[in-house]
Structure 1
Amino acid sequence: MSLTGAGVLAGGAFAAAAANATTVTRPAPTVFTGHAFDTCTAPSLTAMKGWYASSVYHGAAVYVGGKNRGCAQPQLTASWVKSVSATGWKLIPLYVGAQPPCQTSNNPEKITAANATSLGATDAADAVAKEAGLGMKTGSPVYLDMEYFDPANTSCVNTVLAYVRSFDKTVKAKGYWSGFYGFSNSSAAVIANARTRTDLPEILWYARYDDIYSTTKGFPYASTLYTGHRRGHQFAVNKKVTHTGGTLTIDRDAWDAPVAVVAK
């Protein structure tokens, strides 16, 4: 499919989901379709302005919070968000929540079978608060970052799904859209292949490093899943790229999904 431009989606499945929100009526999301990038630390305002004017990138992911967020964010303030949005950038808010119990890492926050539901709700409330503090309003998505784990580990999968369902249910109740980032052969596959779809993410951002700029070609799951502007594809990783404003180390994304709604 063509990946150009940006716009507001006000119909279809998103509109139906908005009408069914249980606590807060959610505005239809703003959808961006085009080139996006993510980088560990939000770039300077100078870099963002230069890149917007001189590159194909008009979408950028930012790590808004989470106890497992790996990089400091000295630039990421409400003022920065407002300024880059005024420049024209479409922002993709990413929250690094608790990680799977079977994951081999030293992350400070991990899910357990005992705390999955309560922790999912707590982290979701924190994610929404972090976005709101940055000026990202209701109708914005929250993309939950879940890193690699063994999808064949049934107990681990069940614990992750309990956490994700609680996280998403809470996010939706607060007027935000639920998104998910994960590896195509691991965490994203667990979400895409889950038999019971209740309270699963509404938007899927999958990492598949095939160097294909598309959200349809090579889509690794059933073609009926996450249609209607609900997909992001991270197709290349750790690339040093230079444009006006400086050199950044980025991951490259094909984007056709909701982005933050920023207060003006």
Structure 2
Amino acid sequence: MSTTLDPELLGAHVFRGMGFEACTAPSLATMDAWRDSPYRAVGIYIGGRARSCAQPRLTRSWVREVTDMGWDLLPIWVGSQSPCASGAHQRKFPISAAHADSQGATEAQQAVRAASALGILRNSPVYLDMESYDTRTARCADPVLDFTQSWSRTMRARGYFPGFYSSSEAGIRQIETAREDGYLDLPDVLWFARWNESSSLFDEPALPEDVWEPHRRIHQYVGDTQESYDGYSLSIDRDEVDAPVAIVG
């Protein structure tokens, strides 16, 4: 898909505004209280073998009730990671260089099943979470690109928008370089992490302003911050969003 085609024309539901993620899906009481916050979208970690937090509340009922409160959802899949991931936890779940293509397809199918089980319908996005990694050598970077292309192809074939989250200086820069080099089967939306306190979507050095738009960008601009509304506190990452969100049925 072109990185300049409006996803709304393809059936996406787009949210524009502030969002956040918490590692574990918050309680319904917290989500209700946080309607007094500036946020209206929330990232939810729907699965993946490298997901680090348990999700005791994340059910189809939770998704429906939170959506009925007026929240938009950003489904996130924490699948296999670069063999050279920066984090010790992520290095336990490496992409296989020899099987990156089949691994990406399999995990995309798993992500679709997980989204569907939560009542997240076709024309929704699922954002592949690729944590920071060393991009300087082919051994580290090539499996990520192969995996992501296969994951994106499969997600798209199943009727979902493939998104991609990573550090601006790692996965985001690699995917943008791949686009510049003419690679196909790249994600539809980029969710870039640059913790610079500025919520701008278009002042990102790794991304030219004339691509990955319209409605194809999320900027995670603050991480690991504590906030409280109406007595309910969470540790969150903050995002500026102009991108597809879940369609819930």
Common fold, TM-score beyond 0.5? yes
Quote the offset at 1:214 in angstroms.
1.9
Q: Does 1:35 align with 2:21?
A: no
| Alignment coverage as a number of residue pairs | 242
Distance in 1 separating the partners of 2:172 and 2:206: 10
Distance in 2 separating the partners of 1:223 and 1:121: 30
Quote the offset at 1:245 in angstroms.
5.2
SS in structure 2 opposite 1:123? helix
Q: Does 1:192 align with 2:176?
A: yes
Distance in 2 separating the partners of 1:158 and 1:196: 15
Distance in 2 separating the partners of 1:230 and 1:78: 26
Aligned equivalent of 1:7: none
- Map 1:180-259; keep pairs closer than 5 Å: 180-194=164-178, 195-218=181-204, 220-244=206-230, 246-259=232-245
| 1:13 equivalent among 6, 10, 16 | 6
Q: Does the 8 A contact of 1:100 with 1:111 survive in 2?
A: yes
**Percentage identity across aligned positions?**
40
Q: Does 1:121 align with 2:105?
A: yes
Q: Does the 8 A contact of 1:67 with 1:96 survive in 2?
A: yes
Q: Which amino acid aligns with 2:182?
A: T
Quote the offset at 1:222 in angstroms.
1.3
Aligned equivalent of 1:84: 66
Instruction: Say if 1:44 and 1:219 are closer, same or farther in 2 by CA, change over 3 A.
Output: farther
Quote the offset at 1:243 in angstroms.
0.3
Q: Does the 8 A contact of 1:42 with 1:76 survive in 2?
A: yes
* CA RMSD across the alignment: 1.5
Q: Does 1:44 align with 2:27?
A: yes
Instruction: Say if 1:103 and 1:218 are closer, same or farther in 2 by CA, change over 3 A.
Output: closer
Distance in 2 separating the partners of 1:177 and 1:74: 26
**Bigger shift: residues 81-90 or 223-232:** 223-232
- Map 1:62-141; keep pairs closer than 5 Å: 62-104=44-86, 105-107=88-90, 108-141=92-125
- Map 1:144-159; keep pairs closer than 5 Å: 144-159=128-143
SS in structure 2 opposite 1:193? helix
Superposed CA deviations along residues 66-90 of structure 1, whole A, max 9, x for unmatched, are: 0110000111000000000000000
Q: Which ranges of 4 or more aligned residues in structure 1 deviate by more than 4 Å? A: none
Structure 2 gaps of 5+ residues are: none
Instruction: Say if 1:245 and 1:91 are closer, same or farther in 2 by CA, change over 3 A.
Output: farther
Q: Which amino acid aligns with 2:142?
A: N
SS in structure 2 opposite 1:139? coil
Q: Does the 8 A contact of 2:18 with 2:241 survive in 1?
A: yes
Q: Does the 8 A contact of 1:51 with 1:245 survive in 2?
A: no
Output the TM-score relative to the length of structure 2: 0.93
Distance in 1 separating the partners of 2:128 and 2:68: 25
Instruction: Say if 1:30 and 1:219 are closer, same or farther in 2 by CA, change over 3 A.
Output: farther
Distance in 2 separating the partners of 1:106 and 1:51: 30
SS in structure 2 opposite 1:251? strand
Q: Does the 8 A contact of 1:241 with 1:247 survive in 2?
A: yes
Quote the offset at 1:13 in angstroms.
3.4
Instruction: Say if 1:133 and 1:78 are closer, same or farther in 2 by CA, change over 3 A.
Output: same
Quote the offset at 1:223 in angstroms.
1.4
Superposed CA deviations along residues 140-193 of structure 1, whole A, max 9, x for unmatched, are: 001000011111112321111110000000000000001000000011111111
**Bigger shift: residues 235-244 or 191-200:** 191-200
Quote the offset at 1:225 in angstroms.
1.9
Quote the offset at 1:12 in angstroms.
4.7
**Bigger shift: residues 145-154 or 118-127:** 145-154
SS in structure 1 opposite 2:6? helix
- Map 1:162-177; keep pairs closer than 5 Å: 162-177=146-161
Structure 1 gaps of 5+ residues are: 1-10, 19-27
